[in-house]
Amino acid sequence: MKTVLMVAEKPSLALSIAKILSRNSLNTRKGISSACPVHEYSGKFKGEQVRFKVTSVCGHVMSIDFEGKYNNWEKVDPSELFIAPTIKKEANPKLNIVKYKMKYSRDSDYIVLWLDCDREGENICFEVLDIGNKQDAVFRAHFSAITDKDINAALNSLGRPNENESLCVEARQDLDLRLGCAFTRFQTKYFQGKYGDLDSSLISYGPCQTPTLGFCVDRHDKIQSFKPEPFWVIDVKVKCPNNGPTISLDWSRFAFFNFSNSISWIHSHTILLLAFLRGRIFDQSVAKMYLSLIKESKKAIIKNITKKEKTKQRPQALNTVEMLRVASASLNIGPQQAMQAAEHLYTRGFISYPRTETTHYPENFDFRSALSTQTRSRSWGAYVSSLLSTGFTKPRKGSDAGDHPPITPMLCATEQEIGGHDSWRLYEYIVRHFIATLSPDCTYMHTVVQFKIADETFTCTGSLPLKAGFTEVMPWQSINDHQTLPTLQTGDECSVERAELLDRKTSPPDYLTESELITLMEKHGIGTDASIPTHINNIGQRNYVTVISGRKLQPTNLGIMLVHGYNKIDADLVQPTMRSAVEKQLNLIAQGNKNQKKHNY
């Protein structure tokens, strides 16, 4: 009987795949590597009865390094590392993965590779094949979720591993090794013993890590160079007719004001306070002049009321970057922790593959089936059932990056089944986001009331929800029910209760949040959706930034000094443009349009 060796990326994935394909009829035993058990069962493959052996690696099998003599910091000039020969060596010799895979590859007739379906996964495919020195009778399984349907479909539509994507990873590894080691050695040796208060024995440089730090220091520099400027605002409150509430008005003299778009509302009993579109006057004498004119008039006359129905769109399908942004900004979960939680959910079959740039579902995606699994939830099951009965809305058109479908819940689970506080909160968000993409848009009535006080125009704005739509399942996105105005008519007169001058000062920008940093990294092509969390985590672990309240990133003295030093030597060392250009070249290798051996430094 022939043997089929199936290799997954992690032991937990190997077990899940084996259970699905064997229908829980399998035998498990220890392998040569204690970390990677072997699961065996019999079945059909390519029309014949075979013996399946399902096992795994533990991430990358091999790592890249310099030949031994180049690892001597004292005898080797850092500049030599740009042309020094490199070797591949076992990433974790204690696991015996190489010996393990050599034996099983030799004893197998076919190999089916179940590595993660991304570039790193393709590279690990070829690491496994190179170890076994076996290139024939090799197949690649492509899948996006650990479900019966996806795994069986993958086995029935096997392809081949993508060598170009593997070569792209090798080029990145080679480049990062040379740049990272050369600059790390240089700056560590330079600073050692000179600045004892910098609190770091190893001062590392990374082609992605350093531009990431650069964004944080750039914001720090803007904060430090900011000079507060005094300004004045006129606070006007009027009493509505018929013993109505007291409301605050926004001044519409555009010649003197910069208007923001944020409006917050507070309603308490008969007092309705509407926050300003903060009109600012930077000349106190002018501010006092207008205040005097307003105080002389004791009436605010309603000149116009406009009502317009507006729509708040449901979200697009969820990709990795958006998941990381939300996790940090709304769930207080750092990018690294969020990615670990997502991988945990994926390997246990609760969500689809969490590394994807795509926000557009394939045309044949079975939304009804995905929704139906969520009907038994106590939290959102009733809403989903209603959505299925009335008809769900087709998701908004997104971007198809050609990788995996958007992040999607695959199973309905309780907090107890998920385990782990962060994992549950992330899972709940992913489910609610998915349901929201298939829900109607939220609609509301937007009202603008225009007042005249003396010859000056003031406005008051309110919003009244009409149809909750997707905000039923994402209540934090709802149009607040208290954002309503009292009943007013054109020509109504309101009495001016208060008009006073408030002195203020302009505020500096705040430190970058993790969410804002993720946005900048995506925009400038620093890292990939999978590596962005690692780069952010690295600048914290290496004492270049600290995470302060609100998940803001405050650079340390060491981080600030490094970036300022890079800018004086060569700004390209810290600017995002260099890494972005490199990523474009690496993409050409992945697409087969550039020779990996011809990249230079």
Residue 339: which of 536, 122, 550, 523 has the closest Cα?
536
Tokens read off for 178: 């040379």
Contact 537, 336 (CB under 8 A): yes
Q: In which residue are the tokens 């998915």 written?
A: 434
Note whether 301 and 493 are within 8 A (CB).
Answer: yes
With 0-12 / 13-18 / 19 or more C-beta atoms within 10 angstroms meaning exposed / middle / buried, residue 157 is exposed
| 353 counts as catalytic | yes
> CA-to-CA distance for 140 and 162, rounded, in angstroms?
9
C-alpha–C-alpha distance, residues 206 and 184, integer Å: 8
| DSSP code string of 392-449 | PPPPPP----SSPPPP-B-S---HHHH-SHHHHHHHHHHHHHHHHHTSPPEEEEEEEE
Q: Which is the catalytic residue, given 41, 100, 205, 353?
A: 353
CB 50 within 8 A of CB 69: no
The span from the CA of 142 to the CA of 165, in Å, is 14
DSSP 525-570: T-S-TTTHHHHHHHHHHTTSEEEETTTEEEEPHHHHHHHHHHHHH-
Q: By the 8 A CB rule, do 265 and 464 touch?
A: no
- Residue 560, both tokens: 């600030």
Beta bridge partners of 460: 449
Under 8 Å between Cβ of 208 and 531: yes
15 and 119 Cβ atoms separated by less than 8 Å: no
3-state DSSP helix/strand/coil percent for the chain, to nearest 5?
A: 40, 20, 40
Sign of the four-CA dihedral 499, 503, 505, 510: negative
- Tell me how far apart the alpha carbons of residues 73 and 492 are, in angstroms, rounded to a whole number: 82
Other CB atoms within 10 Å distance of the CB of residue 290: 19
Phi then psi for residue 140, to 5 deg, are: -120, 125
Closest CA to 445 of 432, 457, 463: 463
- Catalytic positions are 353
